[in-house]
Amino acid sequence: MLLVEKLNHQMNMSSGEKSIADFILAIGGKLNKYSTRNIADSTYTSPATVIRLCKKMGYSGFDEFKEQYIKEINYLEQQHGDVDVNFPFSKDDTISKTANKICRLYEQTVKDTLSIMQYDMLQKAVTLIKYCDTLYVFSAGTALNHAEAFKEKMMKIGRNVVISSNLNYQLYEVNCINKKDCALIISYSGETEKTLLVAQTCKEKSIPIIAFTSFGENALSQLATCKLLISTRESLFHNIADFSSHLSINLLLDVLYAAFYLQKYDENYQYKLTLVKHMESLRHSTNPFLINLDE
């Protein structure tokens, strides 16, 4: 969850902390010019209350909080697009207008995901998968359905990927994996309770974690070995559907697969071609677009 959302929700905040949260939201990027004393004077609180709020947000102090908050504000201000990510169409829209808006939302989500892609982290994720015995995928939601397609692609080039859709099984399963394995943990908020239990167990067992999560710091990203960022434009609850986050997760999975495939391009292609010819020999089509005309 973004700091902006945490400050808006004001969960478990005292009245003084709520005043500070409101003030920080009001000044936005201008926070860079403020000290704890400035904020305390402006909100009729104390520097100690400011620091206490920062710690509730998960930071060691004001300077660390301010640095992350400014990063988030810059990210949010750079976002562009004419489609509301949470309510991309209205009840008065026609079917064709709705379809066009969803298409534009897809375009904007893809661009946003690419804009926050950290290629050093992507390379690190590829290296972790390259040298692990088995890649385990953990998530608490629909992301596991998207991960199934990723699993199929990886199996077709000889890589072992394990996915358990039962959340209770995941908690036991993580205790069965070893240091030669790797975990891919997907959580948009980065704060899902059972997913964090999985991540904490991995951390304790020195199992590397590739995290797919939202922009900004959260509990999952702090436990991760490396992280790839999901487009963070969508509210957790107040939306028509999770169009943007689900698309971004799909894109990241495809990019991760492509980047891994790239390491041994010709070898992976030959392996996949041989396997698919053997396993799917009964599949036929008379449609010239679905067959290889060169064969």
Mean per-residue pLDDT over the chain, rounded = 90
Mean pLDDT (whole number) for 201-218: 93
Residue 235 CA to residue 86 CA, distance in Å, equals 7
| Structure token pair of residue 218 | 């959260």
Q: Is 25 exposed, middle or buried (0-12, 13-18, 19+ CB in 10 A)?
A: middle
φ and ψ at residue 240, rounded to 5 degrees: -70, -40
Q: How confident is the model at residue 75 (pLDDT cuts 50, 70, 90)?
A: confident
Structural domains of the chain, ranges and CATH numbers in brackets: 3-78 (1.10.10.10), 115-277 (3.40.50.10490)
Residue 183 CA to residue 138 CA, distance in Å, equals 7
Q: How far is C-alpha 78 from the chain's CA centre? A: 19
pLDDT tens digits, residue range 98-124? 999 999 999 999 999 999 999 999 999
Residue 293 CA to residue 295 CA, distance in Å, equals 6
> Contact at 8 Å (CB) between 134 and 176?
no
Residue tagged 């305390």 (tokens): 40
What pLDDT is attached to residue 95?
95
What pLDDT is attached to residue 80?
63
Residue 145 CA to residue 229 CA, distance in Å, equals 19
What pLDDT is attached to residue 294?
47
pLDDT tens digits, residue range 137-171? 999 888 898 999 999 999 999 999 999 888 888 98
pLDDT(293) > 60:
no
CA dist list (Å): 155 to 144, 170, 233, 254, 272: 16, 20, 32, 14, 9
Q: What is the reported pTM?
A: 0.80
